Amino acid sequence: MRIIRTKNYDEMSRKAAAIIAAQVIHKPNCVLGLATGGTPVGTYKNLVEWYKSGDLDFSEVSTVNLDEYRGLPREHRESYWSFMHRNLFDHVNIPQDRINLPDGTNMDADAECKRYDAVIASMGGVDLQLLGIGHDGHIGFNEPSDAFDMGTHCVDLTEETIEANKRFFASRDEVPRQAYTMGTHTIMSARKVLMIVSGRDKAEIIKKAFFGPVTPHVPASILQMHPNFVLVADEDALSLV
Protein backbone atom coordinates (compact mmCIF):
# COMPACT_ATOMS: atom_id res chain seq x y z
CA MET A 1 0.00 0.00 0.00
CA ARG A 2 1.32 3.39 -0.98
CA ILE A 3 0.04 6.64 0.56
CA ILE A 4 0.36 9.95 -1.25
CA ARG A 5 -0.36 12.86 1.06
CA THR A 6 -1.63 16.07 -0.51
CA LYS A 7 -2.23 19.54 0.90
CA ASN A 8 -5.87 19.73 -0.03
CA TYR A 9 -8.71 18.49 -2.27
CA ASP A 10 -7.39 20.24 -5.40
CA GLU A 11 -3.96 18.68 -5.12
CA MET A 12 -5.55 15.28 -4.41
CA SER A 13 -7.65 15.66 -7.57
CA ARG A 14 -4.66 16.61 -9.74
CA LYS A 15 -2.50 13.75 -8.44
CA ALA A 16 -5.30 11.21 -8.95
CA ALA A 17 -6.01 12.52 -12.44
CA ALA A 18 -2.30 12.28 -13.24
CA ILE A 19 -2.24 8.60 -12.20
CA ILE A 20 -5.28 7.89 -14.40
CA ALA A 21 -3.75 9.89 -17.27
CA ALA A 22 -0.53 7.87 -16.99
CA GLN A 23 -2.57 4.66 -17.23
CA VAL A 24 -4.33 5.89 -20.38
CA ILE A 25 -1.03 6.98 -21.96
CA HIS A 26 0.70 3.69 -21.11
CA LYS A 27 -2.18 1.56 -22.32
CA PRO A 28 -4.55 3.48 -24.60
CA ASN A 29 -7.04 0.58 -24.72
CA CYS A 30 -7.18 0.15 -20.95
CA VAL A 31 -10.24 -0.62 -18.84
CA LEU A 32 -10.92 2.07 -16.25
CA GLY A 33 -13.11 1.28 -13.26
CA LEU A 34 -14.86 4.50 -12.28
CA ALA A 35 -16.52 5.84 -9.16
CA THR A 36 -19.15 8.40 -8.21
CA GLY A 37 -19.72 10.55 -5.12
CA GLY A 38 -18.50 14.05 -4.34
CA THR A 39 -14.82 13.11 -4.12
CA PRO A 40 -14.03 12.22 -7.79
CA VAL A 41 -15.62 15.36 -9.28
CA GLY A 42 -12.32 17.30 -9.22
CA THR A 43 -10.40 14.34 -10.65
CA TYR A 44 -12.79 14.12 -13.60
CA LYS A 45 -12.54 17.89 -14.10
CA ASN A 46 -8.77 17.60 -14.56
CA LEU A 47 -9.15 14.71 -17.01
CA VAL A 48 -11.65 16.76 -19.06
CA GLU A 49 -9.22 19.71 -19.11
CA TRP A 50 -6.32 17.54 -20.26
CA TYR A 51 -8.52 15.98 -22.95
CA LYS A 52 -9.55 19.44 -24.16
CA SER A 53 -5.95 20.64 -24.24
CA GLY A 54 -5.04 17.65 -26.42
CA ASP A 55 -2.93 15.90 -23.78
CA LEU A 56 -5.22 12.89 -23.37
CA ASP A 57 -7.09 10.67 -25.80
CA PHE A 58 -9.80 8.30 -24.57
CA SER A 59 -10.81 6.92 -27.97
CA GLU A 60 -9.75 3.35 -27.11
CA VAL A 61 -10.62 3.39 -23.41
CA SER A 62 -13.41 1.25 -21.93
CA THR A 63 -15.06 1.96 -18.61
CA VAL A 64 -16.98 0.04 -15.96
CA ASN A 65 -18.62 1.87 -13.12
CA LEU A 66 -18.73 0.50 -9.62
CA ASP A 67 -22.40 0.83 -8.90
CA GLU A 68 -25.85 2.20 -9.64
CA TYR A 69 -29.01 2.82 -7.63
CA ARG A 70 -31.63 0.14 -8.21
CA GLY A 71 -34.95 1.44 -9.50
CA LEU A 72 -33.79 4.93 -10.47
CA PRO A 73 -34.34 5.81 -14.15
CA ARG A 74 -31.12 6.63 -16.01
CA GLU A 75 -32.41 10.12 -16.75
CA HIS A 76 -32.85 10.93 -13.05
CA ARG A 77 -30.32 13.64 -12.17
CA GLU A 78 -28.89 11.54 -9.34
CA SER A 79 -28.57 8.24 -11.18
CA TYR A 80 -24.90 7.35 -11.47
CA TRP A 81 -25.42 7.16 -15.23
CA SER A 82 -26.38 10.87 -15.20
CA PHE A 83 -23.58 11.74 -12.79
CA MET A 84 -20.96 10.12 -15.01
CA HIS A 85 -22.26 11.77 -18.18
CA ARG A 86 -22.44 15.19 -16.52
CA ASN A 87 -18.97 14.99 -14.97
CA LEU A 88 -16.96 13.03 -17.55
CA PHE A 89 -18.55 11.11 -20.43
CA ASP A 90 -20.23 14.13 -22.09
CA HIS A 91 -16.90 15.96 -22.24
CA VAL A 92 -14.34 13.38 -23.44
CA ASN A 93 -14.11 10.96 -26.36
CA ILE A 94 -14.80 7.61 -24.69
CA PRO A 95 -16.94 5.75 -27.28
CA GLN A 96 -20.51 5.35 -25.97
CA ASP A 97 -20.45 1.61 -26.61
CA ARG A 98 -17.43 1.21 -24.32
CA ILE A 99 -19.17 2.81 -21.33
CA ASN A 100 -20.64 0.33 -18.85
CA LEU A 101 -22.70 0.76 -15.70
CA PRO A 102 -25.04 -1.62 -13.91
CA ASP A 103 -28.56 -1.09 -15.29
CA GLY A 104 -30.55 0.21 -12.32
CA THR A 105 -33.78 -0.07 -14.27
CA ASN A 106 -33.46 -3.85 -14.60
CA MET A 107 -35.46 -4.99 -11.58
CA ASP A 108 -34.39 -8.63 -12.10
CA ALA A 109 -31.44 -8.46 -9.73
CA ASP A 110 -30.06 -11.92 -10.51
CA ALA A 111 -30.06 -11.33 -14.24
CA GLU A 112 -28.54 -7.86 -13.96
CA CYS A 113 -25.74 -8.95 -11.62
CA LYS A 114 -24.85 -11.88 -13.89
CA ARG A 115 -24.92 -9.62 -16.96
CA TYR A 116 -22.59 -7.08 -15.33
CA ASP A 117 -20.09 -9.70 -14.17
CA ALA A 118 -20.06 -11.12 -17.70
CA VAL A 119 -19.38 -7.63 -19.11
CA ILE A 120 -16.40 -7.14 -16.78
CA ALA A 121 -15.07 -10.64 -17.56
CA SER A 122 -15.43 -10.07 -21.31
CA MET A 123 -13.21 -6.98 -21.02
CA GLY A 124 -10.45 -8.99 -19.38
CA GLY A 125 -10.87 -7.31 -15.99
CA VAL A 126 -10.10 -3.79 -14.81
CA ASP A 127 -6.69 -2.15 -15.28
CA LEU A 128 -7.19 0.75 -12.88
CA GLN A 129 -10.04 1.01 -10.40
CA LEU A 130 -10.81 4.42 -8.92
CA LEU A 131 -12.52 4.39 -5.50
CA GLY A 132 -13.87 6.74 -2.87
CA ILE A 133 -14.80 5.59 0.61
CA GLY A 134 -18.03 5.88 2.60
CA HIS A 135 -18.01 6.97 6.24
CA ASP A 136 -18.75 3.39 7.27
CA GLY A 137 -15.88 2.07 5.13
CA HIS A 138 -17.94 1.02 2.14
CA ILE A 139 -16.36 0.81 -1.31
CA GLY A 140 -18.71 0.97 -4.27
CA PHE A 141 -21.80 0.04 -2.30
CA ASN A 142 -20.17 -2.89 -0.49
CA GLU A 143 -21.53 -2.14 2.94
CA PRO A 144 -20.14 -3.52 6.24
CA SER A 145 -21.19 -7.15 6.73
CA ASP A 146 -19.99 -10.48 8.12
CA ALA A 147 -18.29 -11.58 4.90
CA PHE A 148 -16.66 -9.97 1.87
CA ASP A 149 -18.86 -10.08 -1.22
CA MET A 150 -17.65 -11.63 -4.43
CA GLY A 151 -19.20 -10.43 -7.68
CA THR A 152 -21.89 -7.91 -8.57
CA HIS A 153 -24.82 -8.07 -6.18
CA CYS A 154 -27.85 -6.14 -5.02
CA VAL A 155 -27.45 -4.41 -1.65
CA ASP A 156 -29.74 -2.78 0.88
CA LEU A 157 -28.12 0.55 1.66
CA THR A 158 -27.41 1.15 5.35
CA GLU A 159 -29.11 3.97 7.25
CA GLU A 160 -25.73 5.73 7.41
CA THR A 161 -25.32 5.63 3.62
CA ILE A 162 -28.89 6.81 3.02
CA GLU A 163 -28.25 9.64 5.45
CA ALA A 164 -24.93 10.56 3.74
CA ASN A 165 -26.43 10.50 0.24
CA LYS A 166 -29.61 12.43 1.02
CA ARG A 167 -27.69 15.69 0.32
CA PHE A 168 -28.03 14.86 -3.39
CA PHE A 169 -31.83 14.37 -3.27
CA ALA A 170 -34.75 16.66 -2.51
CA SER A 171 -35.55 14.64 0.61
CA ARG A 172 -34.42 11.55 2.49
CA ASP A 173 -37.47 9.65 1.24
CA GLU A 174 -36.27 10.02 -2.32
CA VAL A 175 -32.94 8.26 -1.72
CA PRO A 176 -33.16 4.77 -3.26
CA ARG A 177 -32.93 1.99 -0.68
CA GLN A 178 -31.07 -0.48 -2.88
CA ALA A 179 -28.22 -0.53 -5.36
CA TYR A 180 -26.31 -2.85 -7.64
CA THR A 181 -22.59 -2.88 -6.88
CA MET A 182 -19.46 -4.54 -8.16
CA GLY A 183 -18.33 -7.01 -5.48
CA THR A 184 -15.26 -6.70 -3.28
CA HIS A 185 -13.62 -9.63 -5.03
CA THR A 186 -13.99 -7.91 -8.41
CA ILE A 187 -12.52 -4.70 -6.98
CA MET A 188 -9.61 -6.68 -5.54
CA SER A 189 -9.04 -8.27 -8.96
CA ALA A 190 -8.30 -4.89 -10.56
CA ARG A 191 -4.64 -4.69 -11.54
CA LYS A 192 -4.27 -1.33 -9.80
CA VAL A 193 -6.54 0.36 -7.25
CA LEU A 194 -6.51 4.12 -6.64
CA MET A 195 -8.49 5.50 -3.71
CA ILE A 196 -9.05 9.21 -3.23
CA VAL A 197 -10.10 10.70 0.10
CA SER A 198 -10.50 14.25 1.31
CA GLY A 199 -11.71 15.96 4.46
CA ARG A 200 -11.61 15.72 8.23
CA ASP A 201 -14.89 13.78 8.26
CA LYS A 202 -13.08 10.83 6.61
CA ALA A 203 -10.09 10.79 9.02
CA GLU A 204 -11.66 8.31 11.43
CA ILE A 205 -12.55 5.77 8.74
CA ILE A 206 -9.12 6.08 7.08
CA LYS A 207 -7.49 5.18 10.39
CA LYS A 208 -9.80 2.21 10.86
CA ALA A 209 -9.59 0.94 7.28
CA PHE A 210 -5.85 1.18 6.69
CA PHE A 211 -4.30 1.15 10.16
CA GLY A 212 -6.61 -1.40 11.77
CA PRO A 213 -7.45 -5.07 11.18
CA VAL A 214 -8.70 -6.37 7.82
CA THR A 215 -12.39 -7.12 8.38
CA PRO A 216 -15.60 -7.20 6.31
CA HIS A 217 -17.08 -4.88 8.94
CA VAL A 218 -14.83 -2.22 7.36
CA PRO A 219 -14.99 -3.29 3.69
CA ALA A 220 -12.19 -0.96 2.49
CA SER A 221 -9.74 -2.61 4.91
CA ILE A 222 -9.25 -5.49 2.46
CA LEU A 223 -7.35 -3.10 0.19
CA GLN A 224 -4.42 -3.45 2.61
CA MET A 225 -3.92 -6.84 0.94
CA HIS A 226 -3.98 -5.50 -2.64
CA PRO A 227 -0.53 -5.73 -4.29
CA ASN A 228 -0.92 -2.43 -6.14
CA PHE A 229 -3.00 -0.09 -4.02
CA VAL A 230 -2.43 3.69 -3.92
CA LEU A 231 -4.23 5.97 -1.49
CA VAL A 232 -4.19 9.64 -2.44
CA ALA A 233 -5.51 11.57 0.53
CA ASP A 234 -5.31 15.12 1.78
CA GLU A 235 -3.89 16.25 5.13
CA ASP A 236 -7.33 16.46 6.72
CA ALA A 237 -8.22 12.88 5.78
CA LEU A 238 -4.83 11.71 7.11
CA SER A 239 -4.97 13.83 10.26
CA LEU A 240 -5.42 10.86 12.62
CA VAL A 241 -2.63 8.68 11.23
Binding site for ligand GLP (CB under 6 A): 35-39, 66-67, 132-134, 140-141, 161, 165
Beta-ladder partners of 142: 139
The CB-of-199 to ligand GLP minimum distance in angstroms stands at 8
The CB-of-55 to ligand GLP minimum distance in angstroms stands at 26
The CB-of-133 to ligand GLP minimum distance in angstroms stands at 6
Give whichever of 58 and 83 is closer to ligand GLP, judged by the CB atom: 83
Closest among 225, 189, 219, 41 to 117, alpha carbons compared: 189
Closest among 78, 69, 83 to 41, alpha carbons compared: 83
Closest among 67, 95, 98, 61 to 81, alpha carbons compared: 67
Rounded CA-CA distance 128/39 in Å is: 17
Give whichever of 134 and 176 is closer to ligand GLP, judged by the CB atom: 134
Which residues are marked as active site?
67, 136, 138, 143
Give whichever of 11 and 57 is closer to ligand GLP, judged by the CB atom: 11
Q: How far does CA 159 lie from the centroid of its chain?
A: 20
CA dihedral 101, 1, 219, 88 (to 10 degrees): -20
List, edge to edge, every strand of the sheet that includes 2-6.
2-6, 229-234, 192-197, 128-131, 31-34, 62-65, 99-100
The CB-of-209 to ligand GLP minimum distance in angstroms stands at 12
Give whichever of 30 and 132 is closer to ligand GLP, judged by the CB atom: 132
Give whichever of 68 and 127 is closer to ligand GLP, judged by the CB atom: 68
The CB-of-110 to ligand GLP minimum distance in angstroms stands at 21
Burial class (CB in 10 A: 0-12, 13-18, 19+), 110: exposed
